[in-house]
Structure 1
Amino acid sequence: MVREKSMSIRNTSDFVSGLALVAVGGGALFAARDYAMGTAFRMGPGYFPALLGGLLALLGIAISLRALWIDEGNRMGGVAWRPLVLVLGGVLSFSVALGVLGLALASLLALTVSALATHDVRHWEVPVLSLGLSGFSLVVFVYGLGLPIKIWPV
């Protein structure tokens, strides 16, 4: 008597991660659907998002399929809600505060909120990282690319 092996998920963390990549890649493809694609030599505004979204979705499919056959012992644990909420809160606080507080103070706020996500951070690191991030952003986006981003709340 031959026993059939049922198809089961052997590596749940890879399977779920692959599905997340498929979702993000599919979202990029969906967002780029109304933009002109152009060609490889004359790329339109939809070419790059569609290309990256498609590659990301294919990578997600490959990772999810791999999780059906290869068992590396990785099982999904519980969701770490505190870091998830605080890091997303840091990103959202930056996007909301940028127009009101300017780049320097919005960066400080975002890093402070995000730093609360871990217990391993040293308190002196937050302002140092904020100064570094603000300086880097200032050089790249304001001076390098010439984007009209307010630096201070004045």
Structure 2
Amino acid sequence: MSDAPSHAPEKSILPSWVKGPQDFIGGLALVAIAAFALWASSDLQGMRGFSFGAGTAPRMFGILLLGLGAAVTVVGIFTEGPGLSKFHWRGPFFVALAILVFAVGIRPMGMIFAAMSSFLIAALGTHETRWKETIIVGACLTGFCALLFPYALGLPLQMWPTFLIR
């Protein structure tokens, strides 16, 4: 047996008229995200005259993303492109988990602990993380946020956990 890659044709679940599977699937994903954004913003007030409503920007970006996704899908149909590659779940999983931990933890744990913990959880998304540098960068970014939001922007954020304040 040889370790050389075989030149056998790749078997695809997509129809034969799709020449660029990666572009085609990516375009469909963008269209799906745009459709969700348009649906989610459908009950928000739109633009009236020259004043923007709460739903103006989401609808505008949704329509732009819909057009871009449709264009990428068409490119995938008519242009030769790479096949589908394996999708790695580790990065998106840990980034989504970090966002969730921050959203759930900001009130009870305060901004300092929520920001630092979400930064460290997001760093788990790759096996290339160097923990010494990650902790230093996380501490610097958390310190910057601790100065920026309450002092520079004047936002009333709770910095420390509620059990430490009382």
Measured against the shorter chain, the TM-score band is: 0.7 to 0.9
Give CA-to-partner distance per residue, 1:7-51, whole Å, 9 cap, x none: 622222211211121122111111221122124621111111110
**Residue of structure 1 aligned with 2:105, choices 92, 97, 107:** 97
Q: CA deviation at 1:139?
A: 4.8
Which residue is equivalent to 2:119?
111
Which residue is equivalent to 1:27?
36
**Residue of structure 2 aligned with 1:124, choices 132, 138, 146:** 132
Which residue is equivalent to 2:70?
61
The TM-score, its normalising length taken from structure 1, stands at: 0.83
Superposed CA RMSD in Å reads 2.1
Larger Rg: 2
Which residue is equivalent to 2:18?
9
Moved more, 56-65 or 30-39: 30-39
> CA–CA distance in 2 between the matches of 1:144 and 1:64?
44
Counterpart of 2:76 in 1: which secondary structure? helix
Kindly, what percent of the aligned residue pairs are identical? Answer: 32
Moved more, 93-102 or 31-40: 31-40
Q: How does 1:127-142 map to 2 (within 5 A)?
A: 127-142=135-150
Q: How many residue pairs get matched? A: 148
Q: Which runs of 5+ in 1 are unaligned?
A: 1-5
Contact 1:13 1:75 in 2 (8 A): yes
The TM-score, its normalising length taken from structure 2, stands at: 0.78
Query: In the superposition, relative to structure 1, how do residues 133 and 39 fare at CA in structure 2: closer, same or farther (>3 Å)?
Result: farther
Contact 1:14 1:64 in 2 (8 A): yes
Give CA-to-partner distance per residue, 1:91-112, whole Å, 9 cap, x none: 2111111112111111111111
